[in-house]
């Protein structure tokens, strides 16, 4: 389908692309979802650690980035089932901070773990991971992104009440009324 024809890679080989260049690349291509794929290590050099971690940037808390991160965590958990795995709100990672949204960063497992390092050399193990990423991305786009239309005649300056309609009824099931937020010209609305 057309959705899969619009894939962009910041790199296809073993080359260094700066965080800022990755973000610029993403913005230039006006992507619908940025996915950064990694394997983790830890500062404590604890080789026994192995878990899945998925991050989204705090600017998009409660937004589509969080939705994509939770979908990816679910799929990686189904594939690997590593204990203590979580999705995290994050402010520090530049590849998320400098990017447009939605954007996520996945750490499928810990490369510093010797058993995991061996598994990561197995093509079947890598395929399992690629399939998990694919299923999460597919689920993200299959859910649809609700489009909102300002109802004609509503005047935020005059009535201080905004009326809107959801244009994609199939996306309504994805909406959590507790997480809906509205902005007008970048300023939050009640």
* pLDDT per residue rounded down to tens, the chain (190 residues): 454 556 788 878 888 888 888 888 888 888 889 999 999 988 788 899 999 999 998 877 778 889 899 999 999 999 999 999 999 988 888 888 888 888 999 999 999 999 999 999 999 999 999 999 999 999 998 876 556 666 655 555 555 566 666 655 555 555 566 666 666 676 777 6
Residue 139 tokens, joined = 């689920």
- Neighbouring CB atoms inside 10 A of 110's CB total 24
Q: How far apart are CA 89 and CA 164, in angstroms?
A: 29
76 CB-contact burial (10 Å; exposed 0-12 / middle 13-18 / buried 19+) = buried
Question: Does pTM top 0.85 for this prediction?
Answer: no
Residue 171, H or E segment: none
pLDDT tens for 20-57 read: 888 888 888 888 899 999 999 887 888 999 999 999 98
Q: How far apart are CA 73 and CA 53, in angstroms?
A: 7
């Amino acid at each position: 389908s057309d959705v899969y024809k619009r894939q962009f890679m910041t790199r296809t080989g073993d080359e260094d692309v700066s965080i800022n260049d990755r973000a610029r690349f993403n913005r230039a291509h006006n992507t619908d979802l940025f996915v950064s794929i990694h394997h983790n290590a830890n500062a404590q050099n604890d080789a026994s650690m192995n878990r899945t971690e998925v991050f989204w940037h705090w600017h998009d808390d409660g937004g589509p980035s969080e939705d994509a991160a939770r979908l990816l965590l679910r799929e990686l958990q189904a594939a690997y089932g590593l204990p203590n795995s979580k999705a995290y709100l994050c402010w520090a990672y530049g590849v998320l901070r400098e990017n447009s949204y939605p954007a996520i960063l996945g750490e499928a497992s810990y490369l510093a773990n010797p058993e995991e390092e061996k598994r990561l050399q197995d093509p079947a193990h890598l395929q399992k991971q690629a399939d998990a990423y694919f299923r999460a991305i597919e689920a993200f786009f299959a859910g649809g992104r609700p489009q909102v239309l300002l109802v004609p005649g509503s005047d935020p300056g005059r009535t201080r009440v905004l009326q809107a309609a959801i244009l994609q009824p199939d996306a309504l099931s994805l909406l959590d009324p507790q997480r809906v937020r509205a902005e007008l010209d970048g300023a939050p609305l009640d």
